[in-house]
Amino acid sequence: MNLELCDITVRVFMRCLFNKDYTDVPNWEELYTKYIDLSGLGEEGQLGLYVAQHNLTVRLKHITDFLELQQKVFSLTGYPYAAAFEDMRQYGHRVTWNKDEPENFLTQLMRIETKEKRNYAELKKVEKELDDAEKSKDPKTVNARNSFVIMLNILRKDGNQIDKDKTDMEELSLMIKQHRDDVRAAENK
């Protein structure tokens, strides 16, 4: 059962984010990505790095799992698991099968693996930037937990009513987005 942001409360989201407890939230990565996108938080410095790290990790995990599955199924049966081909389109990879040229399929898998090496390099770069930022003494550098709590406090000071057990994450994301838009508008005046 895949959940949407409107299905989880702020308290459940905090449990997942802070404690890495994903009980009853099977699609946490997807929900976190939606939260970042909807709230517009992916545009900010260190939080942007966390988002990039998250997105790259999810991408590379999915592609690695796909490649391992295909290699195992192919080695056992001589055929690929074609139902999973469509999953690769979201990452820009088009996989095909021609039973008359099975070696072409293995070549496609190797090509995908080669192309994804740039994303592994990008992930290492992002992780290094995050590590450097966390070692920095700059007080503007905060982690995702601190950013979330600070944002909740700012929204409450602005008069938003946020009940951790009743406010859903879609609503909170929109509050954050509205607050950010208001701040930008005030800065541009």
- What burial letters (b/e) apply to 61-91, b meaning 16+ CB within 10 Å? eebeebbeebeeebeeeeebeeeebeebeee
Q: Residue 45's pLDDT is what? A: 62
Q: Three-state SS for 168? A: strand
Domain that holds residue 37: 5-187
Q: 9: helix, coil or strand?
A: strand
pLDDT at 101: 94
pLDDT in tens, 27-84: 998 998 888 888 877 666 666 677 678 878 889 999 999 999 999 999 999 999 999 9
Interval 137-155 mean pLDDT:
68
Q: Considering its fold, how many domains does the chain have in total? A: 1
How high is the mean pLDDT of the chain? 86
